[in-house]
Amino acid sequence: MIKFSNKELFERASAVIPGGVNSPVRSFRSVGGTPVFITRGAGSKIYTSDGRELIDFCMSWGALLFGHADPDIVGAVLKAAVDGTGFGAATEREVLFAEKLCSMIPYVDQVRCVSSGTEAVMTAIRLARGATGRDKILKFDGCYHGHSDSMLVSAGSGLLTGGLSSSAGVPAAVANDTLVAPYNDIEAVREIMAAQGGSVAAIIVEPVAANMGLVLPSPGFLEALRALTQQSGALLIFDEVITGFRFGPTTYGALCGIEPDLTCLGKIIGGGLPLAALGGRRKIMEQLAPLGPVYQAGTLSGNPLAVAAGLAALEKMAQENIFPNLGTFGKKVSSPWEKRVQEKGGAFTFFFCDGLPRNLAEAKQCDTKQYAAFFHGMLERGIYLPPAQFETAFISAAHTDGDIAALTAAAADVLA
Ligand X SMILES: Cc1ncc(COP(=O)(O)O)c(C=O)c1O
Query: Which among 106-114, 143-151, 298-306, 370-378 is the span making contact with ligand X, rule CB under 6 A?
Result: 143-151
Of the candidates 85, 94, 44, 92, the one whose C-alpha atom is nearest the C-alpha of residue 66 is 44
**172 sits in which H/E element:** helix 172-176
For residue 110, how many other CB atoms are within 10 A of its CB? 18
Pattern 148-187, ligand X, x by CB under 6 A = ----------------------------------------
Query: Which among 141-149, 196-204, 217-225, 363-371 is the span making contact with ligand X, rule CB under 6 A?
Result: 141-149
Is the Cβ of residue 144 or residue 374 nearer to ligand X in the bound state? 144
Residue from 27, 30, 44, 116 touching ligand X (CB under 6 A): that is 116
DSSP H helical segments within 35-162, as ranges? 59-62, 71-82, 92-104, 117-132
CA distance 188 to 180: 9
CA distance 115 to 296: 12
Query: Which among 112-120, 221-229, 245-253, 358-366 is the span making contact with ligand X, rule CB under 6 A?
Result: 112-120
CA distance 20 to 7: 11
Q: Which segments of 152-230 are extended strands (E)?
A: 153-154, 164-165, 178-182, 200-205
Query: Which among 139-147, 197-205, 245-253, 405-413 is the span making contact with ligand X, rule CB under 6 A?
Result: 139-147
Pattern 47-66, ligand X, x by CB under 6 A = --------------x-----
CA distance 39 to 59: 14
For residue 168, how many other CB atoms are within 10 A of its CB? 6
Pattern 184-203, ligand X, x by CB under 6 A = --------------------
Is the Cβ of residue 146 or residue 272 nearer to ligand X in the bound state? 146
Instruction: Decide if residue 239 touches ligand X (CB under 6 A).
Output: yes
Query: Annotated active-site positions, please?
Result: 144, 239, 267
Residues found near ligand X in the complex (CB under 6 A): 61, 116-118, 121, 144-146, 206, 211, 239, 241-242, 266, 276
